[in-house]
Chains A and B, each alone.
Chain A
Amino acid sequence: MDQPTVSHTSELLSDMPTTLTNCDREPIHIPGAVQPYGFLLCLDERTQRVVQASENTQALLGIPANELVGAGLEQLLPPTHLAELHALWPTLTEAPRLLGVQLHHTPNQPFYKLIVHRYDGLLWAEFEPVASNDPSVVDLGTLNTVLSQMLSATTVLDFCQHAVEQVRSITGFDRVAMYRFAADESGEVVAEAKRPDLDPWLGLHYPATDIPQQARAMYLKNWLRFIPDASYRPAALVPVRNPTTGRPPDMTYAVLRSVSPIHLEYLHNMGSAATMTISVIREGKLWGMITCHHLTPLLVSYELRELCLFIGKTFSALLPTKEQQDLHVYQLHIQKTQTRLFDQMNSSANFVAGLYQHPTTLLDVFACSGAAICFEGELLTLGTTPTPDQIQDVVAWLHQHATEDVFYTDSYARLNPAGVAIRATASGILAITLAQETNDYILWFRPEQLQTVTWAGRTQKVETKADGQIFLSPRQSFEAWKQTVENTAAAWQPLEIEAAQEIRLHIADIRLKIFNELQARATSLSRLNAELERSNDELDSFAYVASHDLKEPLRGIHNYSIFLLEDYADRLDAEGVSKLQTLVRLSQRMEALIESLLQISRVGRLDLTLVPTNMNELVTGVLELLAPRLEQTHTTVVVADALPTVLADPIRLGEVFNNLITNAMRYSNDSEKYITIGMASDTLPNFPAPEQFDVFFVRDQGIGIDPKHHENIFKIFKRLHAQDKYGGGTGAGLAIAKKMIEKHGGKLWVESVLGKGATFYFSLPKAL
Chain B
Amino acid sequence: MKTSFVNPILVVEDSLEDFTALGRAFRKHALPNQLLRCEDGDQALEYLQGYGQHPDWPSHLPAFILLDLNMPGTDGRTVLDVLKHDPRLLSIPVIVFTTSANHRDVEECYRLGANSYLTKPIEYTVLEEKVELIIQYWLQASQLPLSI
Chain A residues with CB under 8 Å of chain B are 544-545, 547-549, 551-556, 558-560, 562-563, 587-588, 591
Contacts and interface: CB of A to CB of B under 8 A. Distances in A.
A713 B116 CA distance: 39
Nearest to B128: A562
B147 to A, nearest CB: 34
A575 to B, nearest CB: 22
A560 B70 contact: no
Nearest to B22: A559
Interface in B7-38: 15, 17-18, 20-21, 24
A591 B102 contact: no
B53 interface: no
Interface stretch (B55-63, B83-91, B117-125, B131-139): B117-125
Majority-rule SS of A interface residues: helix
A722 B85 CA distance: 53
Contact of A556 (B15, B24, B98, B100): B15
28 contacts: A544-B100, A547-B99, A548-B70, A548-B98, A548-B99, A548-B100, A551-B99, A552-B15, A552-B18, A552-B99, A553-B17, A554-B122, A555-B17, A555-B18, A555-B122, A556-B15, A556-B17, A556-B18, A556-B21, A558-B123, A559-B17, A559-B24, A559-B127, A562-B124, A563-B124, A587-B122, A588-B122, A588-B123
Interface string B59-81: 00000000000100000000000
Interface of B: 15, 17-18, 20-21, 24, 70, 98-100, 102, 120, 122-125, 127
A582 to B, nearest CB: 15
Contacts of A559: 17, 20-21, 24, 124, 127
A598 to B, nearest CB: 8
Contacts, number: 46
A406 B25 CA distance: 90
B27 to A, nearest CB: 12
A611 to B, nearest CB: 18
Interface centre among B15, B20, B122, B125 (most CB of A within 10 A): B122
B17 A560 contact: yes
A156 B102 CA distance: 89
A553 B24 CA distance: 17
A286 to B, nearest CB: 93
A556 B13 CA distance: 13
Contacts of B120: 551, 555
Nearest to B105: A544
A554 B124 CA distance: 11
Contacts of B70: 545, 548-549
Nearest to B121: A555
Contacts of B15: 552, 556
Nearest to A543: B102
Contacts of A554: 122
A548 B102 CA distance: 11
A551 B122 contact: yes
Nearest to A553: B17
- What are the nearest 7 A-B pairs in CB distance? A556-B17, A562-B124, A559-B21, A591-B122, A548-B99, A559-B124, A551-B99
Given A548-B70, A552-B17, A563-B24, A558 B122 contact: yes
Contacts of B99: 547-548, 551-552
Nearest to A595: B101
Contacts of A563: 21, 24, 124
Contacts of B125: 562
Nearest to B20: A559
B102 A544 contact: yes
A727 B98 CA distance: 28
